[in-house]
């Protein structure tokens, strides 16, 4: 388990090291070019996986795929928002704003749901064909990138890179709304991601048959896909503060439930992470992107991913160590304590700022 999570942490640091340069390239050269190159590198990476035989090969595979992912990450979100309406946001467009990310995220999660079902079924018979199916998937990604339409946008200067970076960092730290959304998006993404990597270990220890793993995971991603489409409704009916509490409190209740239950009862608490994940991605990430200037968009989305990857690079090996030495239950309780502290340090200030109208997502 520790080797596995260390490998995942290594993958995270590879992406982290390349994340910002690749996002910057997207803002400099254009989204489509970067997406095509990233997709092609992923094809090479998964093809290499087919011939991998040991742990060292897996590190090489993670290096190649991490490079491809870093190029795709940031540019994909940027091209999505670049193609969105640029006219002034009115009350009639508020609902549309959230719908952009809802459609994007639900489509992605439906893909994950299908992949979990097919992947689980294929893995029972042959890991070889599982890798082949992954190669076919990234080939499809490469082909689709060739046919993307890129809307013209204000690009960064190609003559003064130091000034570009300084301008981007200042834009984040001098814009209080962007900074606080950025921080919370990172933290609560980590809260769900950390749990995901322990689920299968717990299912294994609880005696749940391997053949059910794919179906359980598929039900999680399907739940997240459905709630992604419902975020706009919740936002309209309950307001932004309720959405923020769902994002932050659901993982805390999830960790508590997982640490005190076993077998399929424990698996039920996994749905809280799935719901939190959808609200985080659709509501917070959407709010962040609507408050970014186009020329900074890919770079800041890459910085967001960088913060997330660095966070897991630190937490991943720690989680693996605690699982090995003290068991799954103690690990869940440790994560509950950690993210409870994060709730008071990061989420409550955002909730308070919105409640007192010191900040607004419509700024």
One pLDDT digit (tens) per residue for the chain, 363 residues = 777 778 877 887 888 788 777 777 777 777 888 899 999 999 999 999 999 888 889 999 999 999 998 888 778 878 887 776 654 444 444 444 557 778 888 888 888 778 877 887 888 888 888 899 999 999 999 999 999 888 776 666 666 667 777 777 787 777 888 889 999 999 999 999 998 878 878 777 777 777 777 788 888 888 988 998 888 888 888 888 999 999 999 999 999 998 887 777 777 888 999 999 999 988 888 888 877 777 777 778 878 888 888 888 888 888 888 988 888 889 999 999 999 999 999 999 999 888 887 766 664
**Confidence at residue 93, expressed as pLDDT on a 0 to 100 scale:** 42
Q: How far is CA 277 from CA 11, 225, 238, in A?
A: 21, 10, 18
DSSP labels for 62-117? HHHHHHHHHHHTTHHHHHHHHTS--SPP-HHHHHHHHHHHHHHHHHHHHHHHHHHH
Domains of the chain plus CATH, in order, are 2-152+164-355 (1.20.1250.20)
**Confidence at residue 97, expressed as pLDDT on a 0 to 100 scale:** 57
Query: Tokens 């035989």 identify what position?
Result: 53
Q: Residue 165: how many CB atoms within 10 A of its CB?
A: 14
**Confidence at residue 88, expressed as pLDDT on a 0 to 100 scale:** 44
* Contact yes or no for 223/276 (Cβ under 8 A): no
What is the tens place of the pLDDT at every residue in 168-184?
A: 778 777 788 888 999 99
Q: With the C-alpha atoms ordered 327, 333, 336, 337, is the resulting torsion angle positive or negative?
A: negative
**Confidence at residue 6, expressed as pLDDT on a 0 to 100 scale:** 80
**Confidence at residue 79, expressed as pLDDT on a 0 to 100 scale:** 83
**Confidence at residue 154, expressed as pLDDT on a 0 to 100 scale:** 67
């Amino acid at each position: 388990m520790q080797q596995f999570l260390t490998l995942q942490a290594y993958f995270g640091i590879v992406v982290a090291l390349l994340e910002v340069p690749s996002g910057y390239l997207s803002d400099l050269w254009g989204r489509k070019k970067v997406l095509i190159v990233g997709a092609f590198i992923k094809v090479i990476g998964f093809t290499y996986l087919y011939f991998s035989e040991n742990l060292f090969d897996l590190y090489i595979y993670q290096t190649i795929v991490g490079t491809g992912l870093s190029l795709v990450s940031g540019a994909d979100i940027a091209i999505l928002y670049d193609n969105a309406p640029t006219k002034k946001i009115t009350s009639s467009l508020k609902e549309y704003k959230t719908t952009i990310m809802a459609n994007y995220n639900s489509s992605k999660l439906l893909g994950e749901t299908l992949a979990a079902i097919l992947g689980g079924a294929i893995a029972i018979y042959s890991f070889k064909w599982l890798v082949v199916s992954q190669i076919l998937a990234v080939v499809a990604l490469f082909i689709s990138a060739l046919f993307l339409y890129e809307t013209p946008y204000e690009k960064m200067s190609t003559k003064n890179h130091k000034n570009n970076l300084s301008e981007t960092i200042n834009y984040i730290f001098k814009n209080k709304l962007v900074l606080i959304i950025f921080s919370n998006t990172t933290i609560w993404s980590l809260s769900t991601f950390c749990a995901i990597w322990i689920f299968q270990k717990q299912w294994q220890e609880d005696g749940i048959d391997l053949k059910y793993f794919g179906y359980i995971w598929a039900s999680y991603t399907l739940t997240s896909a459905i709630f992604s489409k419902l975020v706009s409704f919740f936002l309209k009916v309950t307001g932004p503060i309720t959405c923020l509490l769902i994002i932050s409190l659901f993982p805390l209740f999830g960790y508590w439930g997982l640490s005190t239950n076993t077998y399929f009862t424990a698996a039920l608490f996994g749905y809280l992470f799935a719901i939190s994940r959808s609200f985080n991605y659709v509501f917070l990430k959407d709010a962040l992107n609507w408050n970014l200037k186009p020329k900074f968009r890919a770079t800041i989305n890459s910085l967001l991913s960088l913060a997330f990857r660095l966070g897991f690079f630190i937490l991943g090996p720690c989680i693996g160590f605690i699982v090995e030495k003290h068991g799954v239950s103690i690990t869940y309780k440790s994560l509950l304590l950690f993210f409870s502290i994060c709730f008071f340090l990061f989420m409550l200030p955002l909730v308070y700022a919105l409640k007192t109208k010191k900040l607004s997502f419509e700024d």
